[in-house]
Homo-oligomer: A and B are copies of this chain.
Amino acid sequence: MLGECLDRVRQTAPLVHNITNYVTANDVANVLLACGASPIMADDEGEAAEITALCAALTLNIGTLNRRSVPAMYAAGRRANALGRPVVLDPVGVGASALRTGTARGLLEEIRFSAVRGNMSEVLTLARAGRAARGVDADSADGVTEENLLPRARLLMDLAGELGVILAVTGAIDLVTDGARCLAIRNGRREMGFVTGTGCQLSALLAAFLAANPDRPLEGAAAAVCAMGLAGELAFERLAPWEGNMAYRDRIIDMIYHMTGEILEKGGRIEVVTG
């Protein structure tokens, strides 16, 4: 199933519109190409909706948010909704400022998102749980562990149901839920946290996987999460002892480039928590 979801991305080659931050835009573009999709970045209100109309999916990422691109996010989101295309929200650093929090919540109220991807802290902040994100890092106190897996899964299922979205919450254990079912994914490595933008990349992959798998969005989303984590594992094995986070960054994307449905099917560590 996981493997098929990836194969479909390669077969359908979805064009993904990204309104995203300038820190990781290059990595996002390259990871989309690596998985068989195509990227287009366009964040001016004067063209955002038109670009969305050409694309199979849309990602809205609020890292390096600026007020100039907020209207572009709304315009693109509305157009994607009108056309029935999947939209993914990555609420980078939500809670760190009123601008980010207000924008993320405003978007969530007005745009129908297919999926929201963030760490636990970001997702809880977004859900008005009143916790503050410390920059873009997951607060470890909020992370999912073997100990708190079930209560966290239930919490996220409730939130996903309320928000009407798939939630993909990444951390030591990743949880993906559509409100009815919750999947736990145990791929990935701690060292991915030393690479900027692995979260942004995953959000863009989510958009591509959702576009290519319209009949099974939860599985598509889970496959994207598994693919990113598995790429992190395979890439780490290839690192020389003296290579660091930059070599790791590149190699993770290279492993997505070479990932086949078969590799993903074998390497994906996914289980149903509940539902």
Contacts and interface: CB of A to CB of B under 8 A. Distances in A.
B253 A246 contact: yes
A40 B42 CA distance: 22
A243 interface: yes
Interface string A29-41: 1100110001111
A135 B98 CA distance: 34
Contacts of A65: 42, 44, 47
B197 A51 contact: no
A117 interface: no
A56 to B, nearest CB: 11
Interface stretch (A145-153, A166-174, A206-214, A255-263): A255-263
Contact of A100 (B27, B47, B64, B250): B47
A257 B194 contact: yes
Given A33-B196, A41-B63, A43-B64, 19 more contacts: A21-B41, A24-B26, A26-B27, A34-B194, A42-B64, A42-B65, A46-B98, A47-B98, A50-B96, A50-B98, A66-B68, A242-B254, A242-B258, A244-B253, A244-B255, A244-B256, A245-B253, A245-B254, A247-B251
Given A47-B99, A51-B97, A195-B33, A41 B67 contact: no
Given A26-B24, A66-B43, A195-B30, A96 B242 contact: no
Contacts of A197: 26, 29
A110 B148 CA distance: 49
Give the secondary structure class of A's interface.
mixed
Interface in A81-120: 93, 96-100
26 contacts: A21-B41, A30-B245, A30-B246, A33-B195, A33-B245, A38-B135, A40-B93, A40-B96, A40-B136, A44-B66, A44-B67, A44-B99, A46-B66, A46-B98, A47-B96, A47-B97, A47-B99, A51-B97, A54-B96, A54-B134, A55-B135, A66-B68, A243-B254, A244-B257, A246-B249, A246-B253
